Amino acid sequence: MDNAKVGSGIMASEKLNWGRMFTIAGAFIAFLIGSGFATGQEVLQYFSAYGFKGILGVIVVFILFLYVGIDFSVVGNKYKFKNGNEIYKYYCGNIIGSFYDYFSIAFIYMSFIVMIGGAGATINQQYGLPVEVGGILMGILAAGTVIFGLGKIVDVIGKIGPAIVVLTVFLGLSAIFGNPGGLSSGNAAVSDLNILKASSNWFYAASSYVGFCMLWLAGFMASMGAASESKKETVMGTFLGALGFSLALAIIALGILANIEEVAGSMVPSLILAGNISPVLALIFSFIVVAGIYTTAVPLLWQVIARFAEEKTTKFRTLTIVLAAVGVFIGLKVPFDRLVNIIYVINGYVGILLLAFMVVKTLRNRLGKEA
């Protein structure tokens, strides 16, 4: 009888909280959504531009996301870092770890610049207004939110993340089923089209994609792992998040490929896919994309400013205005597709180096245990 009670107690303790796992999965997915994914521009450059081989790239992304996501969260759960960015020193040592710590802040600011470009391109393509209108408006909204702390607005609009994923998947499926023959013809046409690509081949592109995403995920997943009471729930949540995001990635990549000749020169491919279904849907999706960019741009800008100044101080407000203005200036000087290609690709290769450090650390830990 006692043994039965003990056994049932063990089983109870091993029960997983599916709500918590889906929360982790949702956070993983939402964190990876930015102007590049929502507009379809990064999907075009990193996956669709390589035809069917781009889907092989998505599989590589899924496998690598599983490894880095789970490792980040498990290490965070084990060491309970006070600052998630401390994970860089765990993998790379103090000197190189400090480099990654500061480089990640620089990358976050560069990502804010990409958000400005994405807002300008979306407003321009949907409404025919100059890119300056969307870019400047996004800069003002982001800076104003950071300065005045309109947190509740960000929280409310932040719920738009799942809506972007659902609508993007819907766009992808509609594009595929609406033109199934376009997949084979698109695969044959990609080599002849003048499409901006992330790399010379699909494997390097997929690796670079994971590389720049890692610089976003490292501190975030380490902090999530540290806050989690269950390692199993964190691991399963990360698995579901990587799977869900990769499936969405594959669907929208195929949807763009099926219409590759139509979207090849577009700054915002997703709007073209939406417009093919309905002009009203394109209008709605443009609002969702801009809202999604806003909720991404605000925390990106805040993280950079908060690193160098305390909130509600003159220095904090001044830095916010200056860095927002500089971001808007650069974001409007360089076309959006170029911003994605330059910033994400360069940072992607720095991220790949971090992946190498992770693999070495993992192997050393395994060999140490075996010894």
Domain boundaries in the chain?
20-365
> pLDDT (tens digit, 9 = 90+) per residue, 177-235?
999 899 999 999 998 898 999 999 999 999 999 998 998 888 888 888 888 778 888 89
* Pick from 39, 205, 46: nearest CA to 125: 39
CA within 13 Å, CB half, 95: 0
Torsion sign across C-alpha atoms 91, 94, 99, 105: positive
In the chain, % of residues over pLDDT 70? 91
Mean pLDDT (whole number) for 321-344: 94
**pLDDT at 245 > cutoff 60:** yes
Q: What b-and-e string marks burial along 46-70, b requiring 16 or more CB atoms within 10 Å of the CB? A: bbbbbbebbbebbebbbebbbbbbb
What's the pLDDT band for 152 if we cut at 50, 70, 90? low
Mean pLDDT (whole number) for 335-340: 92
> Residue 100 contacts by C-beta under 8 Å, 6 or more apart in sequence?
85, 88, 92, 215, 218, 354
> pLDDT (tens digit, 9 = 90+) per residue, 61-83?
999 999 999 999 999 988 988 87
> pLDDT (tens digit, 9 = 90+) per residue, 257-310?
999 999 998 999 999 999 999 999 999 889 888 887 887 888 889 888 988 888
> pLDDT (tens digit, 9 = 90+) per residue, 27-62?
788 778 766 788 899 999 999 999 999 999 999 999
Cβ proximity of 282 and 157 under 8 Å: no
In the chain, % of residues over pLDDT 90? 56
**pLDDT at 327 > cutoff 50:** yes
**pLDDT at 172 > cutoff 70:** yes
> pLDDT (tens digit, 9 = 90+) per residue, 283-296?
988 988 888 788 78
As a whole number of angstroms, the distance between CA 140 and CA 144 comes to 6
- The pLDDT value given to residue 7: 44
**pLDDT at 155 > cutoff 80:** no
CATH architecture of the domain with residue range 20-365: Up-down Bundle (1.20)
- The pLDDT value given to residue 221: 87
What's the pLDDT band for 8 if we cut at 50, 70, 90? very low
Sequence-ordered strand ranges (E) for the chain:
none
The residue that leads in pLDDT, 175 or 149, is 175
- The pLDDT value given to residue 5: 47
- The pLDDT value given to residue 187: 95
340: tokens are 């994605």
**pLDDT at 132 > cutoff 90:** yes
User: To which H or E segment does residue 193 belong?
Assistant: none
